[in-house]
A and B are shown apart, each in its own frame.
Chain A
């Protein structure tokens, strides 16, 4: 069988970093190659080289055994290479057809956009691969899973037969993931070849024909899925043995620390995104909030931490109402918050690590006397936390923005865990992190739980919810579908709830 795509000896240096070091990968025709690696392993750099966004310092690219020179995305497309980005590049207020034709708009009568031809072609593509996309629908009305299919159509419309899917399952429900896998299989059956970039081991094992693992810019190995296990792949990625299951003892829940009653919250655009949510969190337990992103979890957390005012209902923290309380007020009552968007809320990237490690307590002793900041205690605090939480950094003086995602998250965890807390609100605490960091942060959360802290864990990763939670609430369209005991539920059941279906109803149909 021929290799439809081959990268040979690709080397790319950035100042101080060897992003890719003599990387060889090959994609067989009609097969799925999974590219596996931690953040910063060089996956994105490699794909950006393939897509013409970076120029390699050394190395060659072969498409159908002919060496090619790719100077930009247009060259890549001309070679039949198409990329589906992790973050969709779609215009929400335009229709599917308009989005697909964007950039290569065909005209009729020399002047008018020819939407009909395009939508007909979209219909054909959609039927051929079982995508079920309505060409006339507006993007903003489509669920995320369908939006992703529009991205795939865009690539197919441009006649790509080598598809790069960058972390395609990150935003999908388990059911949507299954749908995507079905589509991928149809694409393969139609003779397409696919590079599938991910850090999720189970998906790799489920779908890939070949697996190539990258670590620190080099290929550490290529393996067939039938010869691999999750544990083996994880240790290849990280370079040491990894404990994939979180070890924890049964929870010993004590008194209630957080009580939420019939809560309604409007988001910044005045949409009512949390609609009558009630639950409680007790000391020493983890309540997981599962749900596909964008079902009100973000606003729920904002309301709990004082970042958004709430419309009606009640939030009681240690039996005290926090209606209209300011973020600092809530903070001082012992709430720690690992925010969903660490670069937006969690860190000031242009500040050194030592400042980020006292971001919430800078006005207190020992960091300040009166209004005067105290450099020595600030430095000492940073040194201790960096050591204790294993933040990999050349020094505490470097800016937080220079750290990798995992180390940035460790800085936040270190800061939030370093003050006395009663309640930990962790929102997507391991999003985009590598296996090693995930393992570490999970252990820390369990440790906090065992120390008697109440934990509210919001995550769209079902595996994470199942691994850490003692009870699980599922959110769908601003409401809580159900709250279940973690050991009496299954992934399938949760998946259905996440899609807004009660399992009882589902079995009836």
Chain B
């Protein structure tokens, strides 16, 4: 083939990518519009609400300018740090979302529905916390990786069990990951009230040692830490693994057509176990990032729905690692800004759940979006060009 056709194909790929991004973008926009209507109906001012949401997630631009001026004139950083605080908090919120979203997305790529990210998150957090507080006298360069590894392995084990049950007995992973969630919740209840309980009154673990903490980038109270960058690295690693290696090729083949994968000599069941273990490890890392980077201890209800939101954002990100990063950032900004919206504009935080719900419905039923925005031509074009990009 000549180079021109190769170029044309690249161009086609690019336009396919554009239309691939268009639907999620419009879904988010429509979600926000519908959210505004809900706010309006409940008797509040949507502009005020979204203004507070924006300030809560990105920060106030005026504060930022002021902060920069102070910094350049006096070298004083406090105002500047206060100005970027909301933005860094959004990134902090996005970090476990990235890990958990990658977990669910990886499962989707292999045709597996990992509803167990929630439990894997919890187990990962507990394992990291345990290594973090119980082993003493290690230098950070050993202790921190060890604590991270513990979280990843704990999650991997939690994911591997349903993977193995599916491979060996054909037991459906949806049922078994849900069961594993309940085991994780109850197990953590026991651990937090017994073996792992700190000396205090509340059922929480002791704080992890400073040598096991993910280093923070800015001084307190900014909680932005190394975890965010590890999450980005993980996203790239998953991308590379899925699309550039033979193992990823097998996983995608099994996900796209298990019969053809078997015909081609791939072991479908081995891939089920492998993917569930890797997905569990990623979800475990989400818990790890949260405990080592943000909270430093684990308490009851620690997973806080991250694992379930992860399903939504894997769908929103079309099960692509980079799409997952984008949707995790979106969720991070929405969630983080919502707190401010509640305190400043007195709009209940639940409105964010409504917006998220709307976005997911639009992603799950993209025809609504295409109909709303009269995208009929794009649709036909898209079905030909981009089959297989999604889940």
**Interface positions of A (Cβ within 8 A of B):** 14-16, 305, 307, 326-329, 331-332, 337, 339, 344-351, 355, 359-360, 362-363, 368, 371-373, 383, 394-399, 401-402
Contact = CB atoms under 8 A, between A and B. Distances in A.
Given A348-B253, A349-B387, A399-B387, A327 B245 contact: no
Given A305-B263, A351-B252, A360-B264, 19 more contacts: A307-B262, A307-B263, A326-B267, A328-B266, A329-B265, A337-B263, A339-B263, A345-B263, A348-B256, A348-B260, A351-B253, A355-B249, A359-B260, A373-B246, A373-B249, A394-B5, A395-B6, A398-B9, A399-B388
B260 A345 contact: yes
Contacts of B261: 348
18 contacts: A307-B262, A327-B262, A328-B266, A329-B265, A331-B264, A344-B257, A344-B259, A347-B257, A348-B256, A348-B260, A350-B388, A351-B256, A355-B249, A360-B265, A362-B249, A371-B245, A373-B249, A402-B384
Contact of B260 (A344, A368, A397): A344
Contacts of B388: 349-351, 399
Interface of B: 1, 5-6, 8-9, 12-13, 244-247, 249-250, 252-253, 256-257, 259-267, 377, 380-381, 384, 387-388
Given A351-B253, A351-B256, A397-B13, A328 B246 contact: no
A16 B8 CA distance: 16
Contact of B384 (A15, A348, A383, A395): A15
A372 B243 CA distance: 10
A305 B264 CA distance: 10
Contact of A16 (B5, B250, B384): B384
Contacts of A360: 264-265
Residue from B8, B265, B267 with most neighbouring chain A CB atoms (10 Å):
B265
Given A344-B260, A359-B260, A373 B244 contact: yes
A395 B10 CA distance: 11
Contact of B380 (A14, A326, A346, A368): A14
A501 to B, nearest CB: 35
A344 B264 CA distance: 12
Nearest to A371: B245
A326 B270 CA distance: 13
Nearest to B383: A15
B246 A326 contact: no
A366 B13 CA distance: 25
Contacts of A383: 1
Contacts of B246: 362-363, 368, 371-373
Contacts of A14: 380
Name, among B257, B260, B262, the residue most crowded by chain A CB atoms within 10 Å (CB to CB). B260
Nearest to B247: A371
Nearest to B377: A15
A348 B249 CA distance: 11
A401 B6 CA distance: 20
A362 B259 CA distance: 17
A328 B253 CA distance: 15
A308 to B, nearest CB: 11
A395 B1 contact: yes
Contacts of B266: 328
